[in-house]
Amino acid sequence: MAYTLGIDIGTYETKGVLVDFEGRVVAQAARGHQMLVPQPGWAEHRPEEDWWGDFVYVCQTLLRDSGVDSRDIKAVACSAIGPCMLPVDAQGAPLMNGVLYGVDGRAEAEVRELTDRIGEDVLIDRCGNALTSQSVGPKILWLKRHRPELYAQTAHVLTSTSFLVQRLTSEVVIDHYTAANFAPLYDVERLDWIDDLADDILPLQKLPRLMWSGEIAGEITQAAAAATGLAPGTPVTAGTIDAAAEAFSVGVDQPGDMMMMYGSTIFIILRAAERVADPRIWYAPWLFKGEHASMAGLATSGTLTHWFRDQIARDLDPVKAFPTLAKEAAASPPGANGLLMLPYFSGERTPIHDVHAKGALFGLNLTHTRGDMYRALIEGIAYGTRHVTETFAEIGQSPQRLLAVGGGTQNRLWLQATSDITGIDQVVCEKATGASYGDAFLAALAIGAVDRSDILTWNPATETVSAQSHDVYRESYTLFRRLYEQTKDIAAEIS
């Protein structure tokens, strides 16, 4: 038998799968880790422990539990949260914790300065994106200004996936889809690094070599083989961000296909027919040359459900808490008995790009229950999701097919509320394994073992969650938008 290995590093958990060339999962493994919040507005991971340590653990566990001979693994692909910012020294050793994606807003001042200096129109024209907390370029400038001793030691600035690929192959590479988040250092028309917009951020030779996700970056080194148990010489792809691998895992491959990823955050990817330019959403070249993607993401989603469990439901067994909370919330009617939640517990990404936005639970009285509050939380995330889907509609990019994926799809209340509030039906596929499964497919694709269309047989659609009409949601969504507008000045003042 022949297999491919896919491993994905998420915000709170690493998952891996061994898959045969027919798409059958022969082994799965996972390991949890924490997102560090050293101060408000910051978000970090420990690259040695959380990225490489998890990769090694999951890889060794898969090999042990499956009994598969490592020589039968014909290719490896990994993905990880992103875009991240990690400076490493000449030996590839991390100089600090990895600075996470848009949930980390530490470079707010650099975002404003670079936007004022370059101009938003120029940024969108050249880089495809306005600068936001998602952008890596301002975070590198933050590093230069606030950690000059580390900046001076920096040989390369990596993201999470490129750090893993370097550990596996000694190659310093990054895929184009991820690189588009390094604005203002990446030109989406030239598909190359640039420094003519801001030459004071970083010498371009300190950025990774650009590749496409389906290309082989290198082979497992002797050192990586000793650490992981993989066979030396096994091909490793360039990798990508977790959301892109997750989208591919459910068949987002044609223009008009949209993925809704239910994870620590809601993340949305639309496979677009052409480049779409709008400051409210993100753009990147898709995983293959000549193709396009538009993206959006909330800052907190599944993270909020964990916060609620840990803070409001401490009396429940953490392992069994979510089914209990879902049952309590199901007893609350649509509209959560008049409660309304703003889900901006880490600011917000698309479409408002407001690092100062704050969470709020509005409308409480003495009759409300924990179930009402948990339902309001789920609905608040769905209202934020509707704000995103409305933005796509406003720019003429409504999805032709919406595919739901991620651990949050197991929360039926969340899934149904999202369809009801957005008014969009969602397709659910047979396997909700997610990004690691997409990685395994991309690995098979890179070595020519499958065609792109084979993902439809690897992971067929099995269910459609149809949107149901609720008048209360139309009214509450209007109030949701008003509540943000009327409180954002206060939120900024108390930041």
Q: Would you call 42 exposed, middle or buried from its count of C-beta atoms within 10 A (0-12, 13-18, 19+)?
A: middle
pLDDT band at 103 (very low <50, low <70, confident <90, very high): confident
Q: Which of 8-12, 67-71, 135-139, 376-380 has the lowest mean pLDDT?
A: 8-12
**233 conformational bin, left if phi > 0, alpha if psi -120 to 50, beta if neither:** left
pTM given for the model: 0.90
Give the whole-angstrom CA distance, residue 282 versus residue 261: 16
Tell me the residue type at 322.
F
Q: What is the per-residue pLDDT for 433? A: 86
Proportion of the chain above pLDDT 70, given as a percent: 100
- Residue labelled with tokens 């491959």: 253
Q: What is the per-residue pLDDT for 407? A: 85
Give the whole-angstrom CA distance, residue 468 versus residue 346: 30
* Per-residue pLDDT tens digits for 13-60: 999 999 999 999 999 999 999 999 999 889 999 999 999 999 999 999
Which residues contact residue 2 at a Cβ distance below 8 angstroms, ignoring those fewer than 6 apart? Answer: 20, 21, 72, 74, 449
Q: What is the per-residue pLDDT for 257? A: 97
The mean pLDDT of 411-418, rounded to a whole number, is: 95
Q: What is the per-residue pLDDT for 432? A: 84
Q: What is the per-residue pLDDT for 215? A: 97
Query: Residue 185 — φ and ψ, nearest 5°?
Result: -105, 0
Q: What is the 3-state secondary structure (H, E, C) of 403-455?
A: EEECHHHHCHHHHHHHHHHHCCCEEEECCCCCHHHHHHHHHHHHCCCCCHHHH
* Per-residue pLDDT tens digits for 442-480: 999 999 999 999 999 999 999 999 999 899 999 999 999
Question: Does residue 493 carry a pLDDT above 90?
Answer: no
CB 220 within 8 A of CB 236: yes
pLDDT band at 263 (very low <50, low <70, confident <90, very high): confident
pLDDT, the chain, mean = 96
Q: What is the per-residue pLDDT for 393? A: 96
Question: Does residue 483 carry a pLDDT above 90?
Answer: yes
| Sign for the pseudo-dihedral over CA of 89, 95, 100, 104 | negative
Q: What is the per-residue pLDDT for 406? A: 87
pLDDT band at 360 (very low <50, low <70, confident <90, very high): very high
CB 417 within 8 A of CB 265: no
Q: What is the per-residue pLDDT for 492? A: 86
* Per-residue pLDDT tens digits for 290-329: 999 999 999 999 999 999 999 999 999 998 999 999 999 9
Tokens of 377: 């939380």
Angle 205-209-211 (CA atoms, 0-180°, nearest 5)? 160
Tokens of 146: 């606030």
